[in-house]
Structure 1
Amino acid sequence: MTDMKTGVNPLFLREEELRQAMEMLFYAYRDFTAEPDTMLEKIGLGRAHHRVIYFVGRHPHITVTDLLGILRITKQSLSRVLQDLVREEYIVQRQGTRDRRQRLLDLTPKGQELERQLSEPQRQLIARAYRRAGAEAVEGFRKVMVGIMDDSDRDTFAQARPAAAALAKR
């Protein structure tokens, strides 16, 4: 059942294939978050805290507005999570230098260590999966993940080309 125009066999678009992909995403996310969830539970934090710690670590001096844009949560939800993280000294908030209304967020050394501990098992899972799959599969995975994202996020990742994709082109 090949599309005569493109030469592509669309069997991967059958209902069962799509359902299996959805299920695989759920299982993968469960396993991806399991170890960090256990660590967070021990210190009284949850996944929302993890996401904030991760993105503040990835984007030093991120504004609250930009973080809200990434996480797509309400100001009220972020405020509760930030209060916890500031109180526990994982994150520090500073006023913007040009705009004093702006709040800039950074990890403290304690926050950097927590981010490292939470991310390391996830990094290892991804590295293992990438090694097993190979560069071509990694590029395919990247295309699928970017394809799931909405346009604004897709643009962010379309600009950055990871090393695996560059190696696959050689």
Structure 2
Amino acid sequence: MRTSRIGAATLLAVLAVTGCGAADDTPAPPVSAPPASTAASPTEGEATLTFPVDDAQVRQCEIFRGTSRLPENKTLILGVRNVDNGSPERYFQAVEDWEYPDDLVEWSGAQWFGSGDSSVGQRFRAEVLVVDLAQTKKAIHEADNKGWHSPDNPEGAIVAAHITLKRVAGPGPADCA
């Protein structure tokens, strides 16, 4: 599912410029969508996803980037689910410096999309999740050998942003190694 938001002021400005259906053939100025995000209360935190964008192509691994404002007891993780293979399983990865919420004003983190090129052509839903810091520490410790995955997002997680991506061949950026 794709979502985009256009503020009411932006929409009114576009309608005013285009004459709201008038016979004027002047093309409307381009309207750019803001980064994917969902508002949350200050106690819950908030995050945006600035890269990659919805409907982008990704290889086996991609480096995600964004911004956030988090309270000291929250952090960010990335979640991904293959929407084409029928599995409800979601795979989680903490962003870089997840242990330090104050440092996540600008964040980045790697996320994987299948093993090798086995999932080429399939679509994935990727999410930026605001989660409890203590819960994340525990989950990462427990997932040390078997990876962090579940059919559901972690309890209490807030989906701050989500996009759908399409898998193409290739290993991904060198930063993923």
Q: Normalising by structure 2, what TM-score?
A: 0.23
Greater length-normalized contact order (CA 8 Å, ≥ 6 residues apart): 2
Q: Which has the larger radius of gyration?
A: 1
1 or 2, which has the higher strand percentage? 2
Q: Normalising by structure 1, what TM-score?
A: 0.23
1 or 2, which has the higher helix percentage? 1
